Structure 1
Amino acid sequence: MSDAFTITDEQQDYSQYDLNANPFPYSPVPSEDPEIYCGQQHVSDKISSTVSSMLSTGKSKHLVVTGKYGNGKSHTLKYTRSLLRDRDDVVVGYVAQPGEGFLDIYHEFIYDLGFNRLQELAYEFLASVARDVTETNPIGASAMESLIDDGDVLLSEIVPEAIRRLSDVTKFADFARAIIHMVYEDTNLYAWQWLTAEGIRYEQRKEMEIHSALDDDTMGVRAFTALKNMLLELGYTGIFVFVDEFESIARLSPKDEQATLNSIRHLMDQNSSGLCMLFGCAPEVWQDVMSEYHAFSERIGEEVALKPLTNDHLNDLVSNYLRRERNGSNEGSSIAPFTDEGLDEILQRSQGNVRQALAICSRVLDAAVEENQEMVTPEFVQESM
């Protein structure tokens, strides 16, 4: 009896197309740090303007990117985030979807920053204090950590002053204590849990002299604002927050939806500088928000819409993906083995949807290899689907 199917790790050979591999994703979900972005110029221009405005002036500015499912909202947000992550003067966080309310947005943002980044910020603040109250001159988190580890600076020397200063800066003493406790081995996990709004027991809070629980939207807004104020004190330009799948707020009850939008509005009102929020949202939900929640939508100010792909967009997209895996003999803007007419057929079948177009390209290219097809024509696309 023969096996019903065969499993192998042998890769297909794409060399006949001057390709090292199939460059198209099998599951076209945006990677965390996209290498390719072939967006629409009006969208790129609007995002560049929004981001550059905050970077150059420090004044808060916000934007909503709308588009149908699969038209590239997540890809656009993640690509923008990947560009900003290379900068050392901003803090960037991504929220996959807003969850059940603003506290979930805050929680996901802090989680995206991560334990190590938050601990690093705590050491940076201690360094700023140590430069004033000791004879040392630590520049940056690692220098401060080394001084503490080597015993050149005692935490008991600087922590009381650090908490006092950070409390003044943030107007939130419990937040200040939690941040500083990120550097203590015995309590840094408790501090992290409190800062992420996961909740800790009263005894654990007491050990850090923290009196409040970070357990509702109001406290989330307060903690977010405290973090931003700490960053400005440290010389950062500000915070960038990317909130994806914002349309999921429509699944909340009217009361919870309004509470979430009000909390984001309060965050914007309390942070006229140092905050840039970019939302990805389905157009129909954003229209509802604009018509029903004027106080919130007016704070955003601007919207830019991702439209379905055109022939030129798809040509550029396919060319850029293929270029990634070219052997080197054909590094131009060639779309081979796809023909212009073949891409027209793919565009029609995908109805201009980026995700569907990439999925079809991936599937058709594999079929072309298996059948030793020289060119991907409209007829071959039809046969492969």
Structure 2
Amino acid sequence: MGLCWSNRIKAYSPSNTGLNSKGDSSRDGRSLSNSSSRDSLPHTPRSEGEILQSSNLKVFSFSDLKSSTRNFRPDSVLGEGGFGSVFKGWVDENSLSATKPGSGIIIAVKRLNQDGFQGHKEWLAEINYLGQLHHPNLVKLLGYCLEDDHRLLVYEFLSRGSLENHLFRRGSHVHPLSWSIRMKVALGAARGLAFLHSSEVQVIYRDFKASNILLDTNYNAKLSDFGLARDGPTGDKSHVSTRVMGTYGYAAPEYLATGHLTAKSDIYSFGVVLLEMLSGRRAIDKNRPSGQHNLVEWARPYLINKRRVLRIMDARLEGQYALPRAQKVANLALQCLAMEPRFRPNMDEVVTVLEQVQESKKKGGLEDHQQQGYDVKENREARPSYPRPSASPLFA
């Protein structure tokens, strides 16, 4: 865990790719961009168009990654995003050279879609941030490929996929995340964000959302997708001025209104995700009744009144938590969602509260399988229904 600074080496930067650096579209919201052109504002050091050399990253050949993923076969696809497709592959654990499927270790290979909404700039940002920043709650970048027009990124494989899938998938075969696991994931993600915001790092993540939180076998949370990350303000500057990027429903109101980006913008986004974890509802869901499309707007009146907090809670969590703990987490979400950035806590304070929630659980002896805590039967009428979510359209 720590930083590894080294010399920069020039990287080829295409001049006529026709790619626009928009945020990725996902089912949890619509991508934001107030311009279809490349950011004309001065770039921060880690996104100037050159690769920051890192001894920890392997430079893969395109042929090796073709072999590793069985020529990018469709049945190897792990997921899709604005950047492109992510494929499952296999490499030798020590040399990271391509191996036969089923041997060695599994990797995740993200391949740039040249017809997509993200391009060379985001690919470069991924390398320059994840190649330099190392923390247990950040996804590990193993290497990259830059060969002709091919741009690929190679990551550790996280077997449980994204938090988004676990929160919002529905079906008889799907087991909802327990309260205990949700709080573990929230704490892990908070620690990752606190590391980024620390004085030694000072990075604004800018796209904190459920689909960018990946989970390993033990449900340890790791932040992924650093294509929109920016270095924080330096000197006497209070913010970074940039065009609006990110995902609708998660972006802070002051950032949407002014383009002024601060660490407090990330904290607002964290509050949205924490609210998703409490409620089991998406940040934006047009399938819900009128007045409930925007999760924050719908939930805020209930968050303000402790006695009404149970009305926002995911009914699938019944019996798994004690009321004081639910109220404490709900109040934390409310603080993170403050309209005025100065009233939001910093991430170290968020981590402290979530650690206290974990510690109080241990002292209370409340386990996932025990039917203890507040009786929520009287609130059955407030339980939400769960319509099948649909993809939201992209807008610019």
* TM-score interval (norm. to shorter): under 0.3
Structure with greater proportional strand content: 2
Query: Which has the larger Rg?
Result: 1
Structure with greater proportional helix content: 1
Q: TM-score, normalised by structure 1?
A: 0.28
> Which structure is richer in relative contact order (CA contacts within 8 A, separation 6 or more)?
1
Q: TM-score, normalised by structure 2?
A: 0.27
